[in-house]
């Protein structure tokens, strides 16, 4: 059995005067949300054998804040392929995950992460899948399990979505209508 947890980067600062999208940092709300998600991950007892992430500034800062809340460095492997990747590219990344890793955290961007969940979880995947289909907000966790022994065996429609946690589920003040 394999478990894949996806983490979308936290809310970034669109008003920051950076020259490249890649360099866009988190805004204060994003920093708070990421730390809250890290605390929630710790409270759930989540542990990862491997962490792989986009090297974009907003993902790096998200994982820094998540680590702060989690109480431990997640020590990600940075993978440029994840930056603004499609679901197909993300699936290639999943297929190449280390064989010995049973629970992996993949941190990146939308729409790729949302599309990956919708690809891997069957249409009749239940209420959580329906929520993903509506919106996969920033700093949200989605956890899927696979009845597979190898990451290369992960296929479309084969996942069970076991967790979908948005920052606003943890603190309503982190919802979309607050600064």
Q: Decide the pairing of beta strands 103-108 and 50-53.
A: parallel
Residue environment code for 24-58, b if the CB has 16+ CB neighbours within 10 A, otherwise e: bebbebbbbbbbbbbebbeeeebebebbbbbebbb
Which residues of the chain are under the pLDDT cut of 70? 16, 18, 177-179
Q: What is the pTM of this model?
A: 0.95
Using alpha carbons only, what angle is made at residue 167 by residues 76 and 102, rounded to the nearest 5 degrees? 35
Residue with tokens 């890793």: 101
- Per-residue pLDDT at 6: 98
Q: Which domains does the chain have, with CATH numbers?
A: 2-172 (3.40.50.1240)
Instruction: Tell me the pLDDT tens digit for each residue of 60-110.
Output: 999 999 999 999 999 999 999 999 999 999 999 999 999 999 999 999 999
């Amino acid at each position: 059995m394999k478990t894949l947890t996806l983490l979308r980067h936290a809310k970034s600062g669109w008003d920051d005067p950076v020259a490249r999208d890649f360099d866009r940092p988190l805004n204060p709300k994003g920093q708070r949300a990421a730390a809250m998600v890290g605390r929630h991950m710790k409270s759930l007892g989540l542990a990862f054998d491997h962490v792989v992430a986009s090297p974009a500034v907003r993902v790096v800062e998200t994982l820094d804040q998540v680590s702060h809340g989690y109480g431990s460095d997640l020590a990600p492997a940075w993978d440029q392929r994840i930056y603004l990747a499609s679901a197909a590219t993300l699936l290639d990344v999943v297929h190449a995950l280390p064989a010995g890793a049973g629970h992996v955290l993949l941190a990146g961007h939308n729409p790729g992460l949302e599309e990956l969940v919708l690809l891997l979880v069957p249409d009749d995947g239940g209420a959580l899948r329906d929520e993903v289909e509506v919106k996969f907000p920033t700093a949200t966790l989605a956890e899927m399990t696979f009845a597979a022994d190898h990451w290369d065996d992960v296929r479309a429609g084969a996942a069970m979505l076991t967790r979908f946690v948005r920052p606003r589920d943890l603190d309503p003040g982190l919802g979309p209508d607050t600064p």
